Structure 1
Amino acid sequence: MTSRPRVSERSFIRAAVLHKTFKADQAGQRECIGLGALPAYRANDSVPRHALIRSPGRTTPYHDDQAGMTWTPSGLDCFPGRRPGGWWCAVLLLWLCVGPAAAATQLVVRGGDDAQRENIERYLQAVLAEDLPDAQLRARARAEGERALQALGHYRPQITLGLQGGREARRLEFRFTPGPPVRISRLRLELRGGAVDDPAFARLREQLPLSEGDVFHHGRYESIKSALHNLALSRGYFNAAFLRQRVELNPARGEAAIALIFDSGPRARLGEVSFSDTPFRQRLLERFVPFEAGTPYSTELVAQLNRRLLDSQYFADVRVRPRTELAPEDAVPVDVELSARDKHRVNLGVGYSTDVGARTRLNWRRPWINDRGHKVGVELELAQRRQSISGTYDIPMEDPLRDSLQLQTGWQRESVEDVETERVTLAVQRQWSLDSGWRPNLFLRFEQERFKVGLERGTTQLLIPGVTVSRTRSRGGADPWWGDRQLFSLELAEDSLLSETDLVRLRLGTRWLRTYGGTHRLQLRLDLGALEAGDFSDVPPSLRFFAGGDHSVRGFAWQSIGPEDEAGNVVGGRYLASASLEYSYPVLPRWRLATFVDIGDAFDQLNQRDYKVGTGFGLHWSSPVGPVRLDLAWGVSEDNPPFRVHISVGSAL
């Protein structure tokens, strides 16, 4: 099968780039600069810089003891023993800026696979950047092409070069057959020191990018060594070193034997954590530290400390610095510099949804009000159908990020269809956040509510202890492409305990979102509810169940589905069951076309359900602040299907 040629149209201009100064291999200690494009290394892998340095006039391969391999010199020009500087640098730079440019040389690479052709192009970039005579260009191109293939494990390629045109416009055709690859006949990796019993190194050994029988890929060989070094440093083996790193190549037999002996030395331990001056008590700051002094060193634990301090919202800037250079052999002290956040934070938001109409929300918070880290916040919402104000006082407990005690108060007025309510609440609740992602919440809430539901008017008060357990998982930021949400809620009331009726209220809900093939997005929703009360007329509308609206059954107005009184007013029910299925597909960047079907009902008797069905299509925009959904829906379960436009903002979860 004939391979597809790769053509590079780049014009390589002399003096396009002045590279940084590099140091050569340890033996020569040469310093050098290079002109033109950097010769990129081997098919998305890296190689030590010392392996990419050429001495002036040197054309034969040399053995690099540090890399443990024989390397062919590459295309950087070196100036032994001196650093660029002085008057001649100014002359050189002037020549670079105004000197004549070399003409473009077109490169065509034929043969092999994509990875081989791409690597050859990378190697030849530096050669094409130089204005070389034809004969020298051929020789250099062949040498660099051989090196490019050797990096991928092919040491016996067949190469044919064709050069057409004059120096002002040349076309270099590089044809090759890679030949049989060199495969790894033996791979020996021996660990010594603390790494022998470290499970992280055991996992690394199981995931090595090379194994016996694989093609000897230089970049992957280097990545093994880098991975060992990086893992050692991240886990506190600061004296780790290779005792042996050797590759024995036999291109004629197509074999490579690798021997690596890595001594990690002892593992350091984390020492005491010292905080800079802050307005907070030392005891509060210490509760953010996720480790005890003497814990084996881990950069993940250090990073976790940094994240926890930032997530607290107490600090505008956090800098965590392990003092490895000052540490004794078995302890690493950790210094933390903190800058407290401003005491006042104000957020203003505006929005619109079909359910509540246009709305404005103002949120004021003090991230901290004393040295114990207590917080306070007030939120005001003004919408066409709902107005509310609430306040929260937050007290951090043993784990400030995962355990808090909250005192809450609020007032809300709502007017929807046949229901008008005005409610005052006082509550105390304890919240936890578990490692599994679940968030249990215990609360005790007192509420007094005046209401008008159809022809019914009343005032009721309830003391409600309860529990909620929820979990939300998502990927994709403000507009997630993957996620799910689960909610369980149980509320109780007893007429002998400051309540006007006995009450048991249960609520279950789930949201599920997945995207398949990067385009096909599926969303499922299910909501169930049940309510038992001694006297249903004493149950306020805020605790009854309704269906319909943007997040229930589209095609019907918000809270327009449920049992009705004798005048036809919707008064809410004892039970709720609703579900939704939605599919969407991208039609433009950030725009998706959706189709959906919703079903649901609120009812008083389990054997007297009258499910309403809404279906339609929508256009969803992934805006910078989150998804904006425009849905057109019809209530197809009705004899004369109603039509409604639904607009909502926010995540489907």
Structure 2
Amino acid sequence: MKYVRPRGYTTTAVVGLAAAGMVALVLIPRALADDVDVQIKGIGNPLESNVRKSLSVAGDHKQPWSPDQIQRLFRLAPKEIKQALQPYGYFNPEINERLKQPSGNSKTWHARFNIKHGPATKITRLNIDVEGPGDQLEAIQSALHSTELKKGKRLVESQYSDTKSALYNAAYNAGYLDAKFSKSAIRVNPKTNTAEIDLVLDTGERYYFGPVTFDQDLLNDKFVHRYVPFTPGQPYDAEQLINLQLALSDTDYFSQIEINAPRDKATRAPAMNQWFYDLIYPPQDPLQSIGELRIPVTVKAKPSKGQSYKISAGYGTDTGPRLGLGVKFRHLNQYGHQFRTDLRISQIQRTLQSSYDIPIGDVTQDKLSFTATISNQDFGDITSTLYGVGVTRDTGWQLGRQRAYIKLEREYYNLGYGSRNSTLLYPGYNITLQKADNLLFTHKGVSLSLDVRGASDKLLSSTNFIEGDFSAHAVVPVTAKTRIVMRTELGAIETDNFNEVPPSQRFFAGGDRSVRGYAYQSISPTNSKNQDVGGRYLATGSVEGDWFFYKKFGVAAFFDAGDVTDSLGNFSFKRGVGIGFRWGSPVGMVRLDLAHPLDDSSTPVRIHFSLGPDL
């Protein structure tokens, strides 16, 4: 941006707003607070704050200033004040300044400024326009009409800068890479407190994406092209290149990715068989008939290692010590197929699970997985051994994921009256939604999950049932350091013979992420031996208040309630209250809680420790 001095205006009257906005700080380090006491009266913020930042006499410094230094800096104040007010449209302020020397034993000088900003400079002529082939583009027209600059309004430098940036960004992001301002000037006449603005953008010619070439020999060329979020001939958009970079990085096929789209290598796409249509329907863009300027895109990708290994360890009061081992084979073939297997061991679960994953559909987020599972797991007081295979279609959507699956499971267990087994072939559907400002340290967010599944004895299953499980979590900010954390879970099983439903499909409550104050999965209907065997209906809820008193360290107070029953009319909610400690660690929230069960006198206080995201 520049100011142009109009004919007849005095040199001292015409001052560039950009120069006026510069802060004339003396480069002296941090100040002693009692060297110069500066008071500014007569104007409010943002004028006062900008004036104070501009005053050299109010600058920071380490060593005390000498009297000569203070007086010299004070003399600069009137000019600095005028420059600080000009970005807000005030070019004729009245300034009364006074500098008082220290008295007695004091070492503090007193600088007083009484300021009247004077009349506002109004815009009397405003010429904002766009020229060139892209002048009618919707995004450019939107930026043009959303400007805050208006004829008759006070001149504000930031509004001019915002308008200029919005116009240029709209053109550049639409592929007009040669866009430039043919006119860009503000003419100010301080004598009449008026301003004239000329701001004209010339879009220049539009650029388009050309062919995309991959420099790699790991994946099939047609397959890897499915990660490209644009096609040749689309208007050039730098954000699409970023999306391509992220899409390839999110896969673990490559360890290093480099994308080049040199504008100077752009070539014109021949307008084949276009002359006849140009004759009958002349194109609005005169350059279109001679071909589009297309920028070639080259992607260099270095393959990652063929295998990756994962080792994890942790502790939770629900699970006890836990260990995880995993291996993933990343490069099975040229079509992105992968195989992974994971082993998880804890006090309550011993599971080996494998999955063969095939990218399908939108390969950036969709896959088809063939799974196999062997699991020995404790449910309440029941131990179950399960063997299963399944197929899952895992698809991403805007706010989460959706999974359609079918599973075949064979399960062995004892509900307290002899060994049992079951066979289930059941389809299911799961959808999740998650939105948060920060997944690891959430101040505001929500997550929802719904899973519905069912089996029939007419289709290889040993029983009939339909089951639904819904959970919701919400984090609501109260202040910058406080928040409310809420969660609920509801579940139900509809069946004609609940005794035939295996433990893996039943509901339990109690534990770190359920009803605190009660042991893990200890809230449940019981058998004749008083063993927790799971129930048909589940309802739990929790409300927690967190206060982070220092950075990511905080304390919490909570109330939990929930129950599992075999009849909707028999809910008797178990309640727990307590306090806890919170730490937002780099891997998720660390929670240490002391919970008191209100409906169980046998355990006055139970300690709960857990680690993981709030959502």
Partner of 2:188: 249
For residues 596 and 409 of structure 1, what CA distance do their matches in structure 2 show?
Answer: 39
Partner of 1:158: 94
What does residue range 99-110 of structure 1 map to in structure 2 within 5 Å?
A: 108=38, 110=40
State the AA in 1 paired with 2:244: L
For structure 1, the 5+ residue unaligned runs are 1-46, 52-58, 77-103
The answer as to 2:188 corresponding to 1:258 is no
- Aligned with residue 466 of structure 1, among 418, 425, 428: 428
Report the number of matched residues.
Answer: 567
For residues 460 and 644 of structure 1, what CA distance do their matches in structure 2 show?
Answer: 35
Partner of 1:119: 50
Could you list the per-position Cα deviations for residues 473-500 of structure 1 after superposition, in whole angstroms to 9, with x for gaps in the alignment? 2221312112222122122222233322
The answer as to 2:592 corresponding to 1:635 is no
Partner of 2:323: 360
For residues 494 and 137 of structure 1, what CA distance do their matches in structure 2 show?
Answer: 88
The answer as to 2:521 corresponding to 1:559 is yes
C-alpha change, 1:135 and 1:379, in structure 2 (3 Å) is closer
- Aligned with residue 253 of structure 2, among 276, 291, 314: 314
Q: Which range is displaced more, 547-556 or 454-463?
A: 454-463
- C-alpha contact (below 8 Å) 2:351/2:374 kept by paired residues: yes
Partner of 1:274: 213
For residues 502 and 152 of structure 1, what CA distance do their matches in structure 2 show?
Answer: 74
Partner of 1:290: 229
Partner of 1:183: 122
State the AA in 1 paired with 2:344: E
C-alpha change, 1:444 and 1:63, in structure 2 (3 Å) is same
Q: CA deviation at 1:268?
A: 1.8
For residues 105 and 113 of structure 1, what CA distance do their matches in structure 2 show?
Answer: 24
C-alpha change, 1:567 and 1:127, in structure 2 (3 Å) is closer
For residues 118 and 265 of structure 1, what CA distance do their matches in structure 2 show?
Answer: 41
Partner of 1:99: none
Q: Which range is displaced more, 490-499 or 594-603?
A: 490-499
For structure 2, the 5+ residue unaligned runs are 5-9, 25-33, 268-291
What does residue range 473-512 of structure 1 map to in structure 2 within 5 Å?
A: 473-512=435-474
| 1:269 partner SS | strand
Partner of 2:394: 431
- Aligned with residue 368 of structure 2, among 405, 425, 431: 405
| 1:151 partner SS | helix
Q: CA deviation at 1:105?
A: 8.9
- C-alpha contact (below 8 Å) 2:56/2:76 kept by paired residues: no
For residues 513 and 75 of structure 1, what CA distance do their matches in structure 2 show?
Answer: 41
Partner of 1:199: 138
- C-alpha contact (below 8 Å) 2:14/2:190 kept by paired residues: no
C-alpha change, 1:164 and 1:336, in structure 2 (3 Å) is farther
Q: CA deviation at 1:445?
A: 1.0
Identity of counterpart residues, as a percentage? 29
- Aligned with residue 645 of structure 1, among 596, 607, 610: 607
- C-alpha contact (below 8 Å) 2:57/2:77 kept by paired residues: no
State the AA in 2 paired with 1:353: G
Q: CA deviation at 1:642?
A: 4.6
Q: CA deviation at 1:394?
A: 0.9
For residues 591 and 140 of structure 1, what CA distance do their matches in structure 2 show?
Answer: 47
For residues 483 and 73 of structure 1, what CA distance do their matches in structure 2 show?
Answer: 39
Q: CA deviation at 1:550?
A: 1.4
Partner of 2:170: 231
State the AA in 1 paired with 2:468: L
- C-alpha contact (below 8 Å) 1:151/1:219 kept by paired residues: yes
For residues 190 and 461 of structure 1, what CA distance do their matches in structure 2 show?
Answer: 73
For residues 75 and 573 of structure 1, what CA distance do their matches in structure 2 show?
Answer: 70
For residues 413 and 138 of structure 1, what CA distance do their matches in structure 2 show?
Answer: 80
- C-alpha contact (below 8 Å) 1:473/1:483 kept by paired residues: yes
- Aligned with residue 415 of structure 1, among 370, 373, 378: 378
Could you list the per-position Cα deviations for residues 7-39 of structure 1 after superposition, in whole angstroms to 9, with x for gaps in the alignment? xxxxxxxxxxxxxxxxxxxxxxxxxxxxxxxxx
- C-alpha contact (below 8 Å) 1:161/1:172 kept by paired residues: no
- C-alpha contact (below 8 Å) 1:278/1:339 kept by paired residues: no
Q: CA deviation at 1:314?
A: 2.0
- Aligned with residue 145 of structure 1, among 81, 85, 106: 81
Partner of 2:560: 598
Q: CA deviation at 1:151?
A: 2.8
The answer as to 2:348 corresponding to 1:385 is yes
| 1:331 partner SS | strand
Partner of 1:576: 538
| 1:549 partner SS | coil
What does residue range 20-35 of structure 1 map to in structure 2 within 5 Å?
A: none
| 2:135 partner SS | helix
C-alpha change, 1:512 and 1:133, in structure 2 (3 Å) is closer
- C-alpha contact (below 8 Å) 1:108/1:174 kept by paired residues: yes
State the AA in 2 paired with 1:240: A
State the AA in 2 paired with 1:142: P
For residues 109 and 87 of structure 2, what CA distance do their matches in structure 1 show?
Answer: 25
* TM-score normalised by structure 2 residue count: 0.83
State the AA in 2 paired with 1:188: N
For residues 609 and 636 of structure 1, what CA distance do their matches in structure 2 show?
Answer: 16
The answer as to 2:487 corresponding to 1:546 is no
For residues 607 and 73 of structure 1, what CA distance do their matches in structure 2 show?
Answer: 71
Partner of 1:240: 179
C-alpha change, 1:72 and 1:404, in structure 2 (3 Å) is closer
The answer as to 2:312 corresponding to 1:349 is yes
For residues 366 and 472 of structure 2, what CA distance do their matches in structure 1 show?
Answer: 24
C-alpha change, 1:174 and 1:447, in structure 2 (3 Å) is same
For residues 525 and 161 of structure 1, what CA distance do their matches in structure 2 show?
Answer: 61
| 2:234 partner SS | coil
C-alpha change, 1:74 and 1:486, in structure 2 (3 Å) is closer
- C-alpha contact (below 8 Å) 2:538/2:563 kept by paired residues: yes
Q: What's the RMSD between the two structures over aligned residues?
A: 3.4
For residues 470 and 499 of structure 1, what CA distance do their matches in structure 2 show?
Answer: 27
For residues 134 and 315 of structure 1, what CA distance do their matches in structure 2 show?
Answer: 61
Q: CA deviation at 1:369?
A: 2.6
Partner of 1:5: none
For residues 417 and 127 of structure 1, what CA distance do their matches in structure 2 show?
Answer: 69
State the AA in 1 paired with 2:147: L
- C-alpha contact (below 8 Å) 1:413/1:423 kept by paired residues: yes
For residues 408 and 466 of structure 1, what CA distance do their matches in structure 2 show?
Answer: 15
For residues 409 and 23 of structure 2, what CA distance do their matches in structure 1 show?
Answer: 79
- C-alpha contact (below 8 Å) 1:75/1:127 kept by paired residues: no
For residues 116 and 73 of structure 1, what CA distance do their matches in structure 2 show?
Answer: 11
State the AA in 1 paired with 2:377: E
Q: CA deviation at 1:357?
A: 0.9
For residues 186 and 137 of structure 2, what CA distance do their matches in structure 1 show?
Answer: 26
For residues 221 and 410 of structure 2, what CA distance do their matches in structure 1 show?
Answer: 42
State the AA in 1 paired with 2:47: Q
Could you list the per-position Cα deviations for residues 520-576 of structure 1 after superposition, in whole angstroms to 9, with x for gaps in the alignment? 312222212121334333321010111111122111111111211122212111121
- Aligned with residue 485 of structure 2, among 523, 548, 562: 523
- C-alpha contact (below 8 Å) 1:416/1:558 kept by paired residues: no
- C-alpha contact (below 8 Å) 2:36/2:57 kept by paired residues: no
| 1:196 partner SS | coil
Q: CA deviation at 1:148?
A: 2.5
| 1:551 partner SS | coil
- Aligned with residue 330 of structure 1, among 274, 277, 293: 293
